[in-house]
Amino acid sequence: MHSSHPLELFPGRTVTLMLFKCVRNPAELRRSAMGGQITAALINPRMLVDPFQVIVAANKAVHLQTIGKMKTRSLNSEIIFNLSPTNNISEAFKRFGISDADDSVLVVLVATGDESQTLADIKEKVDGEQVPMEELPTLSDVTQIRKLYKVTPQEEKMGGLLDSVVCKMATKDVM
């Protein structure tokens, strides 16, 4: 039920996404991620429009890791940071990381080669219901997304919310 996306710039590397809802152990998951028992980024799906948004963030994270210019300490935290429209790190974690009160989570795993064991391990740890990626829109809060990314109506009208969000993410370093 997971979806995998190759990163064309980094042959062999893929981004794998798993979506869970009705999660009953968010606090435990968050601790495991911070402690390194879960080697994936755990993201609150409320601020996500589309999986593409996450893949764009993951690609940028791997790029910055490769050139040694990450702004945060790990690849997984860098993915979370890259999703944010601003350069404020703690703000990014607040908006895109999971909190103990959340009941849905998107697991983002950047892997080289066979990641099936890692995926199985993570699935094991999540006490919730895995759902297909297609359900992501039902979990997003479009009003909050517009507000957070400061998407203007004329901008959204032009090419949709996803394009506006992605462009803001990709250009934030120089704005």
Partner 1 sequence: MELEKNMVVSEFLSKGSVLKQGAEARVYRDVFLGRSTIIKERFPKKYRHPLLDEKLTHRRTVQEVRSIQRCRRAGIPTPVVYFVDYTSHCIFLEDIVDSVTVRDHIAATRQRSHPSPTLVPLEPLAARVGRVLARMHDEDVVHGDLTTSNMLLRRSGDGEAELSLVLIDFGLSYISALPEDKGVDLYVLEKAFLSTHPNTEPLFQKLLESYAASSKKSSAVIKKLDEVRLRGRKRSMVG
Residues that bind partner 1 (CB under 8 A): 5, 7-10, 52, 55-56, 59-60, 63, 66-68, 152, 154-155, 157-159, 163-164, 166-168, 170-171, 173-175
Tell the smallest beta-carbon distance from residue 152 to partner 1 (Å). Answer: 6
Tell the smallest beta-carbon distance from residue 155 to partner 1 (Å). Answer: 5
- Tell me the helix, strand and coil percentages in the chain, rounded to 5: 50, 15, 30
Residue nearer to partner 1 on the CB measure, 73 or 157: 157
Residue nearer to partner 1 on the CB measure, 142 or 162: 162
φ, ψ (nearest 5 deg) of residue 60: -65, -35
Residue nearer to partner 1 on the CB measure, 67 or 120: 67
Tell the smallest beta-carbon distance from residue 132 to partner 1 (Å). Answer: 17
Q: Which residues of 29-58 are buried (b: 16+ CB within 10 A; e: fewer)?
A: bbebbeeeebbbbbbbbbbbbbbebbbbbb
* Number of continuous H segments (helices) and E segments (strands) in the chain: 9, 5
70 CB-near residues (< 8 Å, 6+ apart): 61, 64, 78
Residue nearer to partner 1 on the CB measure, 16 or 104: 16
- Torsion, CA 148, CA 87, CA 75, CA 94, rounded to 10: -50
Tell the smallest beta-carbon distance from residue 100 to partner 1 (Å). Answer: 32
Tell the smallest beta-carbon distance from residue 167 to partner 1 (Å). Answer: 5
Residue nearer to partner 1 on the CB measure, 29 or 49: 49
